[in-house]
Each structure stands twice: as C-alpha cells, then as structure tokens.
Structure 1
Amino acid sequence: MTTLGAAIIGCGAIYPLHAKAISAITDVNLLTVVDIDVDKAKQAGIEYACHVTDDYREILNDNHIDVVHLCTPHYLHAEMAVELLHAGKHVLTEKPIAVDLPSAKLMLDAAVKSSGQLGVVFQNRYNDASIYIKKTIDSGALGKLLCMKGIVTWHRNESYYRDSNWRGRWSTEGGGVLINQTIHSLDLLQWFGGEITSVKGSVTTDVLDDVIEVEDTAHACIDFANNVRGLFYGTNTYLENSPVELELVFEEGTLTLRRDYLYLWKDGKESLVCQPIFSPTEGKSYWGTGHKRLIEDFYDHIFSGRKFWLDGSEGIKALELVKAIYSSSQRNK
C-alpha cells in the first residue's frame, strides 16, 4: 500500500484530534504542521516530530504531502481549500465548509476539477446513536418519521470571543451560535429529515450584544419534503455546556438522545438501545469521539480510490440551512 503524507494547517484547539488520528493510521505520516503563530507550530512540530512552517503555500508544491487537514478559522477555509485542490491535494476541512455559500461553491467547483477529494468534518454523523437513528429511519423499523427536535444549550463567555479576534464577526466567523456550535446538530436534523422545503427562524443576541456582532441564540421551525417537521433551539447563553438533546417521533415509537444515551419509548416502555463509548479523547468532551472514525474513513476512501461520502456537496447542506435561518430572521418570512 502507498504511504500518504499529511499536513495540518492551524494548530489551535481542534488540531490535536486530527494529529492523533493521523498518527494512529497505518501508512499515513504527519509531515508538516502550519500556523502563523510560530510558537504554536513549533510546539506541534516537536510533539509530532514533523516539519514546521508559518506559510501554508509551502505545501502546494510539496509532492510528499497528499492530504491536508484545515483546522483554521472559518474565513480561511475556502481560499486555502481552493488552492490546495488546484494543486491536487486531498483536503479535509473542519466545519463550516465556508463562511458563505458563494465561497463554499468555489470549493465544490475546485473539487470537481481536482484529482484530490474534499471532505467536511461533521463527526457527529459517526456517533453510534446517530448511525442507529439513521438506520431506523431508512429501514422503516419504527414506521414513518413524523417529527423531531434538537436542543443545544451551551456556554461561551466574553473571553472566548475576545481571545480570538476572528470570532463573533460576520466576515470571519460567518455568524455565531448557529454556524459554530449548533451547526453539528442542524446537520444531523437535515441528514435525518432529507430535503427541506421551508424554514422559519429567528436569531437574537441575548447576552453578548456588547461583545459580538453575531447571534448567541436562535430557534427555527424546519419543514421537510416528506412532511416531517423539525424544531430547533440553540444558545450560547446558558451557564453550562449541557449535552445535546434530540427527539425523533415515529409512528411506532420515539427515539430520545439524553446525555449521549439513546432511548426507545415503545408500547409504554422505555429501553436503552445505544450507549456512548467512553474513551480518552483530545479536546472538549462534547466534541465526542467521532473525529477519529471520520478521519479514518476519509483515508480509507482515499486508499481505496472511492469517493468520500461526506464531501463538499454533502457538507454544504448544513451551511445552506444556517443561512436560511439567518435570511428568515432578517426578512421575518
């Protein structure tokens, strides 16, 4: 099997999940880490015994690097991905795919013309509970899906935004709680529900209005082509990072996700049908353990020459939903 060389651009909070996952894959070597903060890059370079640079363009003509992981601020995803794809690199980008839809579509166009693949990180699709829910929907085991809801109540304080000057700005973050924290849950709702026909939503800045120019709270009513209705609420104004809550009501039962445990209510009884795998992981606990699975799957597709399923055309759907909620709120329509 051919050995693949990898690089990571961005050595912030999320990069260790990528670095450790890469290091555990046979026939994949992490060769380069990139960050404009040289100290961060050097520290990562020491930890993973790899080359360090503050200029990602060095990667473009480096024939030893086949795969590039984008762990950069949102507004840098599109520009970097397009250049890397034009250079024939495989690109795996953290969410969101981009800060706006025109930028995301440039990435999709570049991927079509590239010999490399574009993948988008929505790791929660790889959670056991998410897989169980999707199989239940597709198999019809509980009959038709009728409705569903998702609730995210997390906490982000002033320092979270003040310590990173790209956060909390429309031009660089692309939004607030919707595009950063709750986009994973919105992605699951649209993955479960399918084609969306209409969205009515609103966004507000309830607590952090003197700190950020984007929203810290949002809600939406989402109607799907199959007559399923989805309700969503998300906020960064809680004083705790509570576990995400999901509920899916079927004709013959209800699936509920509580504290990462999935329960089935059927015939007047509740049973545990799926429980999380608790294992040591880098980063915040509520990021889950899906990163490792997703990254392994991305490389498996590259090695086998198959098209990665969570590609640009799939990864853009959550951004389209986020932008639809923003548009609905602005137009009150």
Structure 2
Amino acid sequence: MAKNIQFALLGFGQIGKKHAQFIKNCPNAELIAIIESNLNQIPAENSIPVYDSLDSFFAKGNNADVVDVCTPNFLHAKNSLEVLEHGCHVLCEKPMGLTKAECEKVIDKSLKKGKSVFVVMQNRYSATALWLKSLMEEMILGKIYLVQTNCYWNRDQRYYSGSEWKGDVKKDGGVLFTQFSHFVDMLYWCFGEMHSFHSTFENYNHPYLPHFEDTGSVQFHFANGGMGILNFSTAVWDKNLESSITVIAEKGSLKIGGQYMEKIEYCHIQHYTAPCLDLKKAHFSHGTYVGNDAHHFLSIQNVVETLQGRSSISTNAMEGLKVVEMIESMYCNK
C-alpha cells in the first residue's frame, strides 16, 4: 500500500482554510501542520499542530512531502523557494509569482533540489474547460478566428476591507493576477501562447485603491493563429455577473458561460452535437464536492496521485510561469 502524502499548510486565511478541508478529505493525504503567523486565524477546535513560521516548523525537525503555499500573492515565490530549499515539494496557489523572474528562480531551485512545483489552476478540471480542451485537441473547430473572454465580477469594499494586502498593487499584483489569472490560464491551456498585447485599464469604482484597476480590455494574438480579447471588471454591483468564453472558428462557434463559466450557452459546429455537461463532482468518504470546490479538491488529489506515481502534474511550474509572463506583458503594454 502506498504511504500517505504528508502536507504542511502555509497560510490559514480564506483559501488556506478551504485547502485544509480538501487535504483532510483527500484519500492518501495527511495534514500534519498548519503554519500561520496570525494565530487568531486558528479556530479553538483545531487539533493539527500549529507553527508561526516556516522557520519554526523546520527548526523543530519537522518535514513534509508537500508544503501547500496559501499565503498572499507577493509571498508565493519567496515561500516556494524556502520550501524547496528544505527539500519539500510545493503546491502553490495562483499566481506562482508576480514576475517572470521570480518564477524562473523557483523553477531553477526545483530542478536543483529535484522537487516538483504544482500550481493551482483548478478551472482546468471544470467540465466546460475539459470539453473546450478536447475540441481543440481533436481540431473539431478548425482554424480559430476570434476568442472573446468576458469576466464581470463583484469585488467591492466588502472584499478589500480588513485585508493588509488585497488591493495593494505591490502585494496583490492587480486583478489579472488575483481574480482572472485562471482565465488567462484557460486561454493558454486551450489555445496556446499569446502575444502582441494591447491593454486599456481604468479604475471606475474603487477610489480607495490607488494605482489599481477594476476594469480593462486586453487585445492579443495567438501564436497558433487567431486573435483574442479579454474584457474584465470587478466593478459589477453587488454580485458576480458573468464568466464566459466565446469562440468564432472555421467550422463553427460556441459560448461557454454562466457566473463561473459552468455551462454551454451556445454551440453550432459542423457535423457535431454538443454534449450535456453536468457540474464536476468529486466524491470523498464523507460526501461529494460540486463545482469549484470539486475542482480545488481534484487539484489536491492530483498532487497525491502524482507523488504516488499514479498520475502527472496537471499544471506544472513552467505553465505557471507562462501565465505570469503573459499577465506581466498585459500590464506592460497599456
């Protein structure tokens, strides 16, 4: 029987708390430590050993197969380097870093240490994403002419208040990193590399966030042919409106949409009938995750199965770097 994969969780904020539950519910995974500098984040009923820093965790002679990095964006690359230096694999929440140079250092260290870096891009597990990826791999659409991605979300003062890093451009990086890097990854994963970026950004509804955009449009071309447009906003009133991808191609057109890009809204392709897709489900011993929670859970499961030799990395460090590189280019070409 394969041994359990031991995880230490670095960062116990909103996403860290979710990761803790996913790890606890994942077969062949074991959460052995929580590393969090703000001990007020730790609930009284917690039974997992807690450390206030990576240094204190390793100084006690502890080790883990994987350290799950769920710290603020600006610490991702720094923490990954520290973890790799101690000989552990890394599972890193998006983004992998805030610059290509940071990500290159992480990759270099991982190669020297012989350790893997997994990047969380959970949208790759959604039923619609897997369907779109299969259409591209099987060349069912023919030549791609235009891909338009719309991401219209709500991130108002309720989201930013009380945070020491969200909305700070040096720590957060911007909404393309924090909110919409998953969609940049989707474009890259399905359609290939992008180049020739031309971007327009505005801050319409967040005057309390200087040097920070809440609305933008990015035009670009795909290396494999065709052009793309990414429209986004976090200025939507009250709640998320839409996440969608529309494709105009040689042999047909399609749109996947909904609040979280969870359904096929239109499909008209030559000699092709669209499937009926359900929300992704992931079963564990005590229940079932559905939708985005299932996608996150499957990201944890992929780490376990890869380290046990039963699978391969779903989003590797080089792919994580490419997403960061393209977002950097979007911000630089405005």
Give the TM-score of the pair, scaled to structure 2: 0.89
Number of residue pairs the alignment of both structures matches: 322
Go from structure 1 to structure 2 and tell me whether the alpha carbon gap of 1:207 and 1:63 turns closer, same or farther (over 3 Å shift): same
Match of 1:293 among 284, 294, 298: 298
1:131 match: secondary structure: helix
Tell me the amino acid that sits aligned with residue 170 of structure 1: V
Identify the residue that residue 27 of structure 2 maps to in structure 1.
26
Go from structure 1 to structure 2 and tell me whether the alpha carbon gap of 1:286 and 1:233 turns closer, same or farther (over 3 Å shift): farther
Distance 2:293 2:176 in 1: 19
CA contact (8 A) 2:35 2:57 kept: no
Distance 1:148 1:275 in 2: 23
2:19 match: secondary structure: helix
Tell me the amino acid that sits aligned with residue 80 of structure 2: A
1:192 match: secondary structure: helix
Percent same amino acid at aligned positions?
A: 25
CA contact (8 A) 1:179 1:322 kept: yes
CA-to-partner distance for each residue in 1:130-174, whole Å, 9 max, x for gaps?
Answer: 011011101112323322111011111124223102111222112
Go from structure 1 to structure 2 and tell me whether the alpha carbon gap of 1:114 and 1:321 turns closer, same or farther (over 3 Å shift): same
Distance 1:30 1:203 in 2: 41
Identify the residue that residue 38 of structure 2 maps to in structure 1.
37
The aligned runs of 1:152-163 (5 Å cut-off) are 152-163=151-162
CA-to-partner distance for each residue in 1:175-221, whole Å, 9 max, x for gaps?
Answer: 2x211111111111122221223111122211113334311111111
Distance 2:216 2:91 in 1: 28
Identify the residue that residue 210 of structure 1 maps to in structure 2.
208
1:203 match: secondary structure: strand
CA-to-partner distance for each residue in 1:7-46, whole Å, 9 max, x for gaps?
Answer: 1111111123312221122332101111111021354xx3
Tell me the amino acid that sits aligned with residue 232 of structure 1: L
The aligned runs of 1:55-74 (5 Å cut-off) are 55-60=53-58, 62-74=61-73
Identify the residue that residue 321 of structure 1 maps to in structure 2.
326
User: For structure 1, which runs of at least 5 residues remain unmatched after alignment?
Assistant: none
Distance 1:221 1:286 in 2: 29
Tell me the amino acid that sits aligned with residue 178 of structure 2: N
Deviates more, 1:264-273 or 1:244-253: 264-273
Identify the residue that residue 119 of structure 1 maps to in structure 2.
118
Distance 2:109 2:278 in 1: 39
Identify the residue that residue 267 of structure 2 maps to in structure 1.
264
Tell me the amino acid that sits aligned with residue 204 of structure 2: D
RMSD (Å) for aligned C-alpha atoms = 2.4
Q: How far does residue 269 in structure 1 lie from its aligned partner after superposition?
A: 10
Tell me the amino acid that sits aligned with residue 128 of structure 2: A
Identify the residue that residue 52 of structure 2 maps to in structure 1.
54
CA contact (8 A) 1:75 1:98 kept: yes
Q: How far does residue 75 in structure 1 lie from its aligned partner after superposition?
A: 0.9
The aligned runs of 1:194-205 (5 Å cut-off) are 194-205=192-203
CA contact (8 A) 1:243 1:286 kept: no
Identify the residue that residue 146 of structure 1 maps to in structure 2.
145
Go from structure 1 to structure 2 and tell me whether the alpha carbon gap of 1:267 and 1:135 turns closer, same or farther (over 3 Å shift): closer
Tell me the amino acid that sits aligned with residue 312 of structure 1: A
Deviates more, 1:223-232 or 1:304-313: 304-313
Tell me the amino acid that sits aligned with residue 277 of structure 1: K
1:21 match: secondary structure: helix
CA contact (8 A) 2:66 2:88 kept: yes
CA contact (8 A) 1:202 1:325 kept: no
1:60 match: secondary structure: helix
Match of 2:280 among 270, 277, 280: 277
Q: How far does residue 275 in structure 1 lie from its aligned partner after superposition?
A: 3.1
Tell me the amino acid that sits aligned with residue 195 of structure 1: E
Tell me the amino acid that sits aligned with residue 129 of structure 2: S
CA-to-partner distance for each residue in 1:245-273, whole Å, 9 max, x for gaps?
Answer: 11122222222112211242236998554
Q: How far does residue 101 in structure 1 lie from its aligned partner after superposition?
A: 2.0
Distance 1:181 1:208 in 2: 15
2:213 match: secondary structure: coil
1:234 match: secondary structure: strand
Q: How far does residue 104 in structure 1 lie from its aligned partner after superposition?
A: 1.7
CA contact (8 A) 2:77 2:97 kept: yes
Tell me the amino acid that sits aligned with residue 23 of structure 1: K
Q: How far does residue 77 in structure 1 lie from its aligned partner after superposition?
A: 0.8
Distance 2:126 2:272 in 1: 24
Identify the residue that residue 182 of structure 1 maps to in structure 2.
180
Tell me the amino acid that sits aligned with residue 23 of structure 2: I
1:244 match: secondary structure: strand
Go from structure 1 to structure 2 and tell me whether the alpha carbon gap of 1:211 and 1:4 turns closer, same or farther (over 3 Å shift): same
